[in-house]
Amino acid sequence: MKAVFTYTGIRVKDLDQSLKFYTQVLGMKEAGRSSIEATGGEVVSLVSEDGGPQLELNFYRKGSKYAKGEEYEAGEGIDHLAFQVKNLDEALEEAKKLGYPTVLDIKGKTSRWAYIADPNGIWIELFA
């Protein structure tokens, strides 16, 4: 499979404080925001410059199975890495044949993306 690395998603424990840090301290701009019903999460995409790589802040509300409870340890902050592929179904099938099955497949209103896990358990998002 040929994939293009596009952005990094990090898990944050407080979305408002994290957003304030990345925008006010580092000067990033908000590029988009959405709620993901399937995960009970909220996502904010940030950029340093137009057309540049994105940093995605991922916050999971209490009660989401993706929230890790009250404890938060540095290093658990990597939520996932995202790669764009030409054909999502073909990429998922190829990954499955190589021993990396789909761990989550999300169909949004206008898009679809899915995750596989790397050998360390880090989720890899694939989208077309």
* Average confidence score pLDDT of the chain: 88
Buried-exposed string 32-57: b where 16+ CB fall within 10 A, e elsewhere: eeeebeebbbbbbbbbeeeeeebbbb
- Which pLDDT tens digit goes with each residue over 58-67? 998 888 877 7
Question: Which pLDDT tens digit goes with each residue over 44-97?
Answer: 999 988 888 899 999 988 888 777 655 655 556 688 888 899 999 999 999 999
Q: What is the pTM of this model?
A: 0.69
49 or 105, greater pLDDT:
105
Q: Which CATH architecture has domain 3-127?
A: Roll (3.10)
Burial of 28 (0-12, 13-18, 19+ CB in 10 A): buried
Paired tokens of 6: 């596009």
